[in-house]
Amino acid sequence: MNKSFREPFYRPKPLGKNFATTSLKTRYSKLSTSVKRLERLTAILSYIQSRSYTPIGDLQQKFAVSERTIFRDIRALEESGVPIAFEKDKGYFVSDRHFLPPLAFTIEEAKSLIFVEQLARKYTDAPTFAHFANALEKIKNKLKDYQLTDVEHLESKVLAYINEQETPRYLAVAEKACSQQQVLDIAYQDSRGNFTHRLVEPIGITFYSQTWHLIAFCRLRDDYRDFSLTRVLELHTTIERFSRTHLTLNEYIKKIENT
């Protein structure tokens, strides 16, 4: 004998006409927040890796977040296995030569390098530009096919006029001397056509008025001097390294601005 069976009556609680829309908005909002935080964590790691030490104040300014947020992000990186350490009065650093995976570039980032390439070709010497060109080739190797096509198309549309007479010849040598505190032996012609031979102790290189300038302590004048690299006729490194404490480049520039 068949018995009729009635399922218990259940009436779901009304969810409201905006439930679906509100739920989706909430989920998308949470997803967007998670993606932004992941991007910030990656950027923070990259930023710390690019420096010997990174004070927390620099991180706050760079990423426009609070100190508390930076602490949380650093902890998240540590929990994920990144060996971040902190040294008092200096800042954060990544130990054990921890490296990020291969970089990914947006098409806008990739295209921006083409403009930099033209400026490097115009405003640097041959050795420096050769190093930049090699680095750019390595970056291009990381691009996707459609990105590389766009970049190569842009390369044919961008060109900087180069006056060989205005291209500095000694930028790479001057940079190395600054880094290694080597005394330079230079032959220089000033704006009035006067020739001098000098031994100088370089403190930095700066760019203005369409050319590079070597800032150095001149032993001939017993003071700091500004040498336009386009007016340097000869430049040689010596075996001598200087040990005296000089102004930093920023200190020199501020001194000049205040006089």
Alpha-carbon distance 96 to 20, whole Å? 49
Contact by Cβ (8 Å): 201, 216: yes
* DSSP states along 194-228: -EEEEEEEEEEEEEETTEEEEEEEETTTTEEEEEE
- Cα–Cα distance list, 26 to 16, 21, 22, 30, 67 (Å): 16, 9, 6, 6, 27
Token pair 């921006």: residue: 112
pLDDT for the residue 31: 45
Alpha-carbon distance 210 to 128, whole Å? 17
pTM of the entire structure?
Answer: 0.58
3-state secondary structure of 39: helix
The tokens for 214 are 């070597």
pLDDT for the residue 106: 77
Alpha-carbon distance 52 to 84, whole Å? 12
Alpha-carbon distance 175 to 201, whole Å? 12
Establish how many alpha carbons lie within 13 A of residue 222's alpha carbon, considering only the half-sphere containing its beta carbon: 0
pLDDT for the residue 132: 86
The tokens for 162 are 């180069």
Give pLDDT tens digits along the chain (259 positions).
444 444 444 454 555 555 455 554 554 454 455 557 788 888 888 788 777 888 999 999 988 899 999 999 999 988 888 888 899 889 998 876 555 555 667 778 888 888 888 888 888 888 888 888 888 887 787 777 777 888 888 887 887 776 666 667 888 899 999 999 999 999 999 889 899 999 999 999 999 888 899 999 999 999 999 999 989 999 999 999 998 899 999 999 998 888 8
Closest to 174 (Cα-Cα) out of 135, 121, 227: 227
The tokens for 76 are 């998240």
Alpha-carbon distance 119 to 110, whole Å? 15
Q: What angle do CA 142, 144, 149 make, to 5 degrees?
A: 110
C-alpha torsion sign, points 152, 156, 158, 164? positive
DSSP assignment letter at 231 = G
Closest to 200 (Cα-Cα) out of 169, 238, 249, 250: 238
Amino acid identity of residue 86, one-letter, is F
pLDDT for the residue 10: 45
pLDDT for the residue 3: 46
Contact by Cβ (8 Å): 150, 114: no
